[in-house]
Amino acid sequence: MLESNYNTIVISDLAWGDSAKGKFSDFYASKWADVVVRSQGGNNAGHTVVIDGKKYAVRGLPSGVFTKNVLNVIGNGCVINPIQMVQEIEYLKNNGITDFQLAISAHTHIITEYHKQLDNDIEEYRIHKVKTTGNGIGPCYADKKYRLGIRMCDICYGTFEELSELVQDAITAHSLYYDVNYIDALVNNLLEAGKRLKEYVCDTSLVLEKAINEHKNIVFEGAQGAMLDNDYGFYPYVTSSCPTSAGIASGCGIPPKYIDNVLGIVKAYSTRVGTGPFVTELEDSELTNKIRETGHEYGTVTGRPRRIGWIDLFILKQANRINGTTGLAITLLDVLTGIDKLKVCIGYKDKNGNNISSLPPRVQDIYECTPIYKDMEGWQEDITHCKHFEDLPKQARTYIEYIEHFLDVDVEYISVGPDRNQIISK
Ligand code: IMP
């Protein structure tokens, strides 16, 4: 199925997330993978998978949980809200999915109530203006770097006294005040969640080394997207982890040499949630409403309506370069059906009207950029039943081929509907 030295593939969103990545992890999980791994992010992600018309949503869990005999790994680079994770596991079990295999890294940092509070309540905190998902992701990663973090091993193997001390240290450092009963309850809730999760907790780097030595097929499932990368995204309007292929190795404890295939997931148009520059953004109109409603463009985690824009090949080119993308999957192509004229962004002009060659590092400068568009013809035919590239209307094929040539990476898949089966292999 893949040309590779190792049987591994990274599934990586090239823009701002929400591009139906979960569908491709699920596609690989159901057709090919033995192991599905998450290496970064936490319950800020939301993967929706549609199987036989039934919709399932997971947030912290890898999307391989829907396929029998697939091992799902949550690596050390993720952050986990243990209480929410217990609920997510219950949700699966209540939906009849009981036989999934799960390994959670003992090194994974955990999100607590005070991380959520820091993410949401403190007006002057810089994260406030970024309009995060409010799940405490940033403060949890920040505590990790401050050496104030609490890890899965602490809630699974630590005592009440040990955990209380860690919590007390962190809240003191953040100048938060809680009464003793609140802290005791918080510690007890974490220990309780630790008891429920302990059966899954292990050293996942050992698990993955074994899987690689046994030539198992491994999917590394990205979360968020390249433009939300803490280094190369539109800083500070970014998430706190590294969602490009570079984050995989350190996020799950394997050497980078094992990563060779990178499938870049590209939505046929652009969306983003949260604040920050969005050069190809469309003003609210009948067109954006149509795209938002047809594409169900509302945050899986927050329910916020997503901002809508034309596809931006300028930033996708940068994302390809940083990710080392070896193939592309174009998703939600069916959402563009019925739009007469499409636009594709092929470059940016700066405030002086000059073409620029790379994305400016300062958002102040990105705000002043204007898009350079190429106009393309749309199509009217329903494409949701197309099984082969040739079945697509000519205009849709031209649209895909243009993206492929511009980005200089082969389009391997085109998704034409939400179901597992609505994928064209090109
Ligand atoms: P955080 O990850 O909750 O800290 O949010 C930081 C920024 O990343 C905000 O603009 C969020 O809306 C955005 N973000 C985080 N996770 C996702 C995701 O899975 N899809 C799309 N945007 C996300």
**What is the enclosing helix (H) or strand (E) of 374?**
strand 370-377
pLDDT band of residue 125 (cuts 50, 70, 90) is: low
Residue owning the nearest CA to atom 9 of ligand 1? 132
Does 240 contact ligand 1 (Cβ within 6 A)?
yes
| Token pair for 75 | 């690596």
Check residue 274 and give its pLDDT: 81
Q: So what's the pLDDT on residue 426? A: 87
* CA–centroid distance, residue 223 to ligand 1 (Å): 10
Q: What is the mean pLDDT of the chain?
A: 93
pLDDT tens, residue by residue, 362-384: 999 999 999 999 999 999 999 99
Question: Does residue 275 have a pLDDT over 80?
Answer: yes
* Residue with token string 């292929």: 245
H or E element, residue 375: strand 370-377
Would you mind telling me the total number of residues written for the chain in this entry?
426
- Measured in Å, residue 44 CA sits from the centre of ligand 1 at 6
Please state the rounded mean pLDDT for residues 383-391: 97
- Say what the pLDDT of residue 5 is: 75
Confidence of residue 164 (pLDDT cuts 50, 70, 90): very high
d(CA 231, CA 78): 17
What pLDDT, on the 0 to 100 scale, is given for residue 303?
A: 81
Query: Percentage of the chain with pLDDT > 70?
Result: 97
- For residue 24, name the pLDDT band (cuts at 50, 70, 90): confident
Instruction: Please give the Cα distance from 4 to 258 (Å, whole number).
Output: 10
Nearest-angstrom CA–CA distance, 243 and 224: 6
Rounded average pLDDT over 175-201: 97
Question: HEC profile for 49-98?
Answer: EEECCEEEEECCCCHHHHCCCCEEEECCCEEECHHHHHHHHHHHHHCCCC
Q: Between the CA of residue 29 and those of 69, 184, 327, what are the distances in Å?
A: 10, 41, 17
Is the confidence at residue 3, as pLDDT, over 60? no
Whether 267 and 332 have beta carbons less than 8 Å apart is answered as: yes
Indicate whether 93 pLDDT > 70: yes
Ligand 1 centroid distance, CA of 68 (Å): 30
Residues acting as catalytic residues: 18, 47
How far from the centroid of its chain's Cα atoms is residue 241's Cα?
Answer: 10
Contact, 119 vs 28, CB < 8 A?
no
**Is it the case that residue 50 has pLDDT exceeding 80?**
no
Band of residue 115 on the pLDDT scale cut at 50, 70, 90? very high
pLDDT of 67 strictly over 80: yes
Residue 331 in contact with ligand 1 by CB distance below 6 A: no
* pTM metric for this prediction: 0.93
Is the confidence at residue 30, as pLDDT, over 70? yes
Of the candidate ranges 128-137, 176-185, 337-346, the one whose mean pLDDT is the lowest: 128-137
Give yes or no for a contact between 308 and 292, defined as CB atoms under 8 angstroms apart.
yes
Beta carbons of 280 and 270 less than 8 angstroms apart: yes
252 pLDDT band, cuts 50/70/90, is very high
The tokens for 80 are 């986990």
**Ligand 1 binding pocket mutation candidate from 229, 273, 275, 301 (most atoms within 8 A of CB):** 273
Helix (H) or strand (E) holding 266: strand 261-267
> Angle of helix 113-120 relative to helix 137-146, nearest 10 degrees?
110
Give every CB contact of residue 337 below 8 A, 6+ residues apart in sequence. 378, 379, 380, 381, 382, 383
**Residue 265 and residue 273 in contact, taking contact as beta carbons nearer than 8 Å:** no
- For residue 371, the cross-strand partners are 348
